[in-house]
Structure formats: structure tokens, C-alpha cells
Amino acid sequence: MSTVVLNGAGTTVAEIAAIARKDAIVEIAPDVHDRLVRARAILDQSAASGQQIYGLNTGLGANLKTSVTEDISAFQQQLVRGRAMGVGPSLARDTTRAVMAARLSMLSVGGSGISPDVFNDLLALLNKRVHPIVRSIGSIGAGDLVLLSAIAQALIGEGKAEYQGEVYPSGQALEKAGLVPSGLGPKDGLSLLNASAVSVGQGALVAVDAASLLDFQRQTAALSFEALGGNPLILIPAIQHARPATGQVGEAEKLLALLEGSSLFEAKAAIQDPLSLRCIAPIHGAVAHAVNAATEAVEIELNAAADNPLVILDEGRVLSTGNFHTPSLALVFETLGLAIAQAALASAARFIQLTGSGRNGLPRYLTPVGGTSAGFVPLQKTVTALVGAVRHKANPVLLDFLPVSEGVEDHATQTPLTVAKCADMMDLWRNLVACEMLAAAQAVDLRPGHRCGNGTEETYRFVRATAAKLEEDRALGDDVSTLAGRLRAGLDCSCSVSN
């Protein structure tokens, strides 16, 4: 089992995915403990001096002007319980682990002032694989307090948690794992809650999945190039450098590498192919750019002190901040969703080209028997339904908020919803890629004498290892689902058909 060491800097989305999906053990670098101790001392000194500190000796939100004068530690318990307002389906196990890992990474920077013991309790909760039941609806992106309260509840032995595949009351789950409930000191509850760890943790998984699925989409598009007899000259470097849009040069290079050795380079090709084929490089380049931007934005958050209030170690003081607010993160995931939608629509368009009425020299509906055979044409409805769902998920939501908490919180980002939409789009996009893969492989089979390139031949074999050539009408939906399952397995293990 692998190990990920958190040191308050340099945490990557790949490491979060390893913790979330491969149960990697999390260790903490020695200097993290030192930072936590220093930050806690600064927080305690500031409170002892009489400074008003949000969420420590004041109420939250609209209760900001209400002082907390009695039993400050008990107030932290109240704070956690009072924000357990999440509803809807629970987060998946891997997402919950990603959220916990993201919060630990952020806390490791040392800006929260959390008690070292409470930090260690959260670390033990993750490493012992006790997974709080976290509802998915309740955050508008101004920090994920309502959702993160479920993790804080589990830590103090309240709420519910999953352990070894069973859901228990959290106190019982802790006991089975050999843990005891955590005791929250001043500000510890707020330190666990007031962050965007749900958005960041799930965003890390989406960024990893999008990068891997783009690789499969790239390979599939190259196979469609073979299937449709596309003109590979559209991919030559001179054309890309004439208008080097972001990501375009690199995508064209990768497509050319997949096609190397193909008989397309020896054939007489059309002057211009349909745009879904001719413009693959700029379309995929935009996705690659969006994936990179999302990855960068998530990794900034993973390695940042986004707390409010913030303990500024270098200055030895505590100040209120707006660092929990994530408009940039919301924007990059809205952009990623739109870029994925463009790639998905192009994939669907190529599928229609492949399965249409005798286009590109291929038999009608890609059926080798003709006559009344439906071949692949009924699958056009499935593809259209998938595209409709993708387009729906691509609609922006980051501006859809209302002022809350008596107008104190009058702006929000909807980052959790934006990230969740992208996560939902992965399954839809994956099924579209599987549909195009099946059709492209069938078309290659119906081009006698055609020779695929080295990379596209590997993609073709990948398809045929899952689904046989269509010889007579059958339930292609089953083939799509099986192939999409193989793509999902590839995403989860970060492997791909070709390098």
C-alpha cells in the first residue's frame, strides 16, 4: 500500500486520488506538527489578549456581534451540531476520502490554529478508514460548512459513519476502529468546517478523471480518423503553428503519433473532412487547457491556508479573511464542463457520420448484412440522449445564489455544484466515448485492406477485447456498458490504452 506525505506544500491531485481510491496511508512531515503548535500558540495568545476572533469568542454569520463568554469549548460542539443541515444523497466513499484528505492538506499549511490533537484525530479517522456519511447538498460555495459538519460530527462521536462496509452510529464506528471521540478546543470546530474541502476534494478526482478520459477520447477520435478515411494532413505541424491556439499543437502531435503507420498517409483523401474530424486538435486542445487550469486551481487550494480567521505565522497575529471563497475554482470547473461538452458533441457528431446512410464509403448503418438490419442506427438515439444530458450539465450555475444569513453572506460561488456537475458529466462522456469506439472499430472492420496506425491498432484491439464485430443485430447497449466499464477501470487505475 502506498504512502502520501503531507507537508503543507506540493500536494497534487494525483496524491488525493491515491488516498481516495487506493487507500494510500497519509503521513505528516515533522515540520507540519511544529507549524500547528506555533499557530495554536498564536491563536491562544490572541484570544487571551481580549481580541475578538470570529468563531472562537464570537458567533458565526449574522451572530457575529454575539460574544461567546462561557465555555468556549462547548460552543465548538454547538457550532458543529448547529450546522449539520446537509441533505440529499451521500457522497461516495472515494469522494469522502478525497474531502478528508483535502482538509488535512489544507490544515497542514498551518493557518487554522487547530489543536494538534484534533488534527491528529482527523488523520487517524482517514487512515483507519472510518468514513463519515456526508450529504451532498447544503453548500453554496462560501465555504462548505454545512457539508463538512458531518466529518466534524463523526470526529466527536456523533452522526453516522461507514467502517468496513457497514454504516454505524459514529461512536460505534470509532470504537470498532480503536479510536475515541475527539475533544474540541477553542476554534477547533470552525477549523474543521470553514473551508472548501468538499469542492477541492471532489475537484481533485474530477481533474484526474478528466485528464484520463481525454486520453481515451483522443485515442477514440484517432480511430474514427481511420474509420472515416480522414485526411491526416490536417494534423501536420505547419498548420497548427499557423494558429497555435492553446493546446492545439500538442493535441495534433499526439493524434499524428497514434496514426503513425496508417495507410491513410498513402491513400487519396478528401480535401476537407467534416468539422468534427477536421477540428479535433483545437477541440481537444481546449479540453486539455481546461483540465490543466482545473488541476492548477485545485492544487492551489490543496496547499493554501484558506481559513477564516487566519493565523498568520510570520506576523504572529490572527485576522479575518475571505480566503474560503472560491470564485476562481468555480470558474475553471464551469469552463471545464463547457470544454468537455464541446468534445462530447464532436464525438457524437463523428458517431452520426460513422453510422449514417452509407457515408464515407461505409455500409449503411455499419451493418454488414444490409436489408432490414438496423445495425448501429438505433444507437444514435442513445447518443443523442447522452448529448442532451451533457449539455444540461454544462449550463453554468456559479451565478445562481441568494443572499443568506441576514445579508452578511450576500455572495456565493456555487463551487460544490459546479464541481459535482463535472463529476456527473464524466459518466455521460465515458458512455459517448464507448459508443464512438464501438462504431469506429466496426467501420474499420468494414474497410477491407485498410491498415491502422500503431496507436489506433492498439485502440482497435482494446475494443475487440470487449465486443465482437457486429454480424447481425444485437443489444449494442450491453457492449457500450461493458466497454464504458473498462474505461472506468482505466480511469481508476490511471492507465490508458497507449502512451
Domains for the chain: give ranges and CATH numbers: 3-195 (1.10.275.10), 210-308+324-492 (1.20.200.10)
Most distant CA atoms of the chain, gap in Å:
88
CA angle 143, 148, 151 (to 5 degrees): 160
Asked if pLDDT for residue 153 goes beyond 90, the answer is: yes
- pLDDT tens digits for 242-278? 999 999 999 999 999 999 999 999 988 788 899 999 9
State the pLDDT confidence band at 496, using cuts at 50, 70 and 90.
very low
The predicted pLDDT at position 125 comes to 98
CA distance 113 to 276: 53
CB 390 within 8 A of CB 346: no
The predicted pLDDT at position 320 comes to 83
- pLDDT tens digits for 365-398? 999 988 888 899 999 999 999 999 999 999 998 8
- pLDDT tens digits for 4-32? 999 999 999 999 999 999 999 999 999 99
Helix/strand/coil (H, E, C) string of 132-180? ECCEEECCCCECCHHHHHHHHHHHCCCCEEEECCEEEEHHHHHHHCCCC
Whether the pTM exceeds 0.75: the reply is yes
For the chain, what is the mean pLDDT? 91
For the segment 318-340, the average pLDDT, to the nearest whole number, is 92
pLDDT above 90 coverage of the chain, percent: 74
State the pLDDT confidence band at 67, using cuts at 50, 70 and 90.
low
The predicted pLDDT at position 494 comes to 36
Asked if pLDDT for residue 416 goes beyond 80, the answer is: yes
Most confident of 310-314, 369-373, 417-421: 417-421
State the pLDDT confidence band at 407, using cuts at 50, 70 and 90.
low
**β-strand 135-137 against 130-132: which pairing, if any?**
unpaired
Asked if pLDDT for residue 46 goes beyond 90, the answer is: no
